[in-house]
Amino acid sequence: MEKEYSVVFLLLMLSIPPVGSWHDLDNSEYDCWPLDEPNQYNMIDCGGLEMSWIVRPPEEVKSGQVFSVTYTVTAHDAFYDWAIKKDVFPHSSIVDAEAARWFCEHQDCPTNWRDADGENCCIHHANIHSCPIRHLATYRICGPWIPDDGNIFTHTISTSGTMAQTNWTSKVVLVHAGLTSLIAHIRVGRMQVALEAKSTVLPPLADCGECPLTLGTKLAIGLPVSLVCLCFIMTAVWLMYQKQKLLWDESWIIDFTLIQQQAILLSDGRTVAVKRIQTKTFSLSKAVREEVKQVRELDHPNLCKFFGGCVEVPNIAIVTEYCPKGSLSDVLLNDDIPLNWGFSTCAYQREIENYYYCKKKMKTSTRISQAGGSGSGEAADKRPLFRAT
């Protein structure tokens, strides 16, 4: 009974088809075949010829992405003795291992790889093959016998060279999504070697194709959006122009010869205050223009309005709104004006309001000299309330 089971088990094992795999002969990533009629079953010993990856194919790569691989080819001393015994080199002058070594390391190959063969070049063919695994229906493995169909199974441009070159580099492009087997393939005399690696090709981004919207629909959507964007841009440009215009506007400059006294009348009949600035030099720089621009933009009932100034040395002056009751010190020292706690509280409250308003509106520490007296920066108008100057 045990013998019957053994026979049945052996028959089952023989009936199972061989599974395609690299490493059939050893635990390496490369295998060798004869040059003529190679297939997945007739691998041969490599005899001391080795291949290995220097720069492996990436584990994942996008479809259509170009990448480079580098591999090395090494022939040990034992290879040349083995090659002579196996008649690997067809050239008639190669009769011993030394002649085989010289041929592989020093024999120059033809410039055009198409002219290279086993008679005139040691490595007379070197390139990269790619085989999408899901298309390997009739093949066990991606071997050097699979032809280049230009669509699914592809080969890179071939090269040739000597064993002294050692490292070989190729550029590769994979297209078909999924797991792909790549082999670095070389031919040496009457044998060929292939080094294998695998990469997963990621699918390209989905192409949505042509837009299904009609021309009229595109115009109906595009024109309003374009007009809104154009209006936004024009508004931003106009605001920037207005800021620059106000910066370089000199309408606030007043001719000092028109000023005859501290309190004068403007052309519209308003009375203003003039504060003389004692200085020997003055330059209407951009920084000064920036401060004047900020002061002109201030508009608050508790602030004296800035009207202009004189910029010619030595007649430098500031022209502001006129407060007839003078400065704060004049009011405080005037016994005719009764002061109580409510009045003082109101003055402090307005001072705080003025401070926060100026801090919010002005980026610099510009401060207008007081108008209508030589007080402490506060002027009293006829209400009587206080205004910062």
Tell me how far the alpha carbon of residue 288 is from its chain's centroid. 41
The phi, psi pair for 258, rounded to 5°, reads -85, -10
Give the N- to C-terminal CA distance of the chain in Å, as an integer: 121
CATH number of 15-202: 2.60.40.10
Could you report the per-residue pLDDT of 151-169, keeping only the tens digit for each? 778 889 899 999 999 899 9
CA distance 83 to 79: 6
Q: What is the pTM for the complete model shown?
A: 0.50
Beta-carbon count within 10 A of 202 CB:
14
Q: Identify any residues that bridge with 185 across adjacent strands, giving them in sequence order.
A: 127, 194
CATH number of 256-388: 1.10.510.10
Would you say the CATH fold of 256-388 matches that of 15-202? Answer: no
Q: Model confidence over 209-240: pLDDT tens digits?
A: 677 788 888 889 989 999 999 999 999 988 88
CB 379 within 8 A of CB 373: yes
* Total Cβ atoms within 10 A of residue 179: 13
Is the bond into 57 cis (omega within 30 degrees of 0)? no
The sheet with strand 66-75 has its strands ordered as: 49-55, 66-75, 167-173
Burial (CB < 10 A; 0-12, 13-18, 19+), residue 108, is exposed
**Helix 286-297 / helix 215-248 crossing angle, nearest 10 deg:** 110
Contact present, 375 and 387 (Cβ < 8 Å): no
Per-residue pLDDT of the chain (389 residues; tens, 9 = 90+): 444 444 444 444 444 344 344 444 445 789 999 999 888 888 899 999 999 999 999 999 999 899 999 999 999 999 999 999 999 999 888 999 999 999 999 999 998 888 999 999 999 999 999 999 888 877 778 888 888 887 778 889 899 999 999 899 999 999 889 999 999 999 999 999 999 999 999 988 766 667 778 888 888 998 999 999 999 999 998 888 877 776 677 777 887 777 655 445 555 566 778 888 888 888 878 888 888 888 877 777 767 788 788 888 888 888 888 877 666 666 666 667 666 666 666 665 666 665 665 655 555 444 433 333 333 444 544 444 445 45
Cα separation of 180 and 135, whole Å? Answer: 9
From the CA atom positions of the chain, what is the Rg in Å? 48
Q: Where are the domains of the chain?
A: 15-202, 256-388
The span from the CA of 315 to the CA of 150, in Å, is 90
Which residue, 322, 38, 77, 12, is CA-closest to 185? Answer: 38
- The three-state DSSP-derived secondary structure of 329-389 is HHHHCCCCCCCCHHHHHHHHHHHHHHHHHHHHHCCCCCCCCCCCCCCCCEEECCCCCEEEC
Query: From the centroid of its chain, how far is CA 44?
Result: 51
Q: Which two tokens stand for residue 118?
A: 């086993």
